[in-house]
Amino acid sequence: MVVILFILTVVGCIAVDVYLTRREKRKLAAETPGLREEAGILPVLAALEPPGGLFFHSGHTWAKIEPSGTVQVGLDGFARGVLGKVDRFDLPEAGVRVRQGEVAFAAIQSGKRIEFVSPVDGVVSVVNSQALSDPQEGKKEPYGKGWTFAIRPSNLAHNLKKLRIGAEASAWLEREARSFAEFLSLHRAVPQEVGVTLPDGGIHAEGIMETMDGEILQIAIRKYFR
């Protein structure tokens, strides 16, 4: 009964958050049209408009609480955008225990292994077979078909305190996109053929990690995916 009440409370909070977030977005769009483009926040990453109801970890993975109580896990739009083409995903098997903030799965790309953390504690209950057979499919819908595996959570109430949701998540993703553009410029990680700049000087970073390797790749992983 306690678990059911907790889930109902979370669902209620999510519903309120979705409403407030949508209202704030409509207000922002009406008052400041074109703000994101003019501010150079990398709109090409499709990272700035996460749907309501998802909780975001600072390592750019998200958690979605299902009615059954299980939690779906996936990569956010920022991670999908900068990753580019993924050859395959290395996902945990059902029954494996994962912990919040610790490496749980990886994207394999041209021999490179880019690891990502779990947003919550628990035991893996099921893996998305579509993510295994067609790793590119999820890029189109990072918050839908792009889920990677589901977890039976073991410490959800505590874990959620460390995650972002709604307007807070949107604002954080914008800051991360800005930060990533600055990171690329600072480390000169933008090849001429990829580093197309936006009119305001922002960097077109779609798929940029396909061109990164060695130390610069490891720095990017530690900075943005941990």
Sign of CA dihedral 75, 79, 83, 84: positive
Q: 216 — phi, psi (to 5°)?
A: -65, -35
- The answer to whether residue 47 is domain-embedded is yes
Q: How many CA atoms lie within 13 A of 93 on its CB side?
A: 1
In a domain, 121, yes or no: yes
What pLDDT is recorded for position 14? 46
The answer as to whether 226 is a domain residue is no
Q: Which runs of E-coded beta strand occur in the chain? A: 55-56, 61-65, 71-75, 88-90, 97-98, 103-109, 112-117, 122-127, 147-153, 164-165
pLDDT in tens, 206-222: 788 998 999 999 999 99
Residue 179 lies in a domain: no
Paired tokens of 125: 């209950």
Please indicate, yes or no, if residue 212 is contained in any of the structural domains. Answer: no
For residue 42, being part of any structural domain is answered with: yes
Model pTM score: 0.77
Q: For residue 27, give the CATH number of its domain.
A: 2.40.50.100
Question: Number of structural domains, the chain?
Answer: 1
Q: For 29-59, what is each residue's pLDDT tens digit?
A: 343 333 343 333 344 444 457 888 999 999 9
Range of the domain at 63: 2-169
Distance, CA of 226 to CA of 223 (rounded, Å): 7
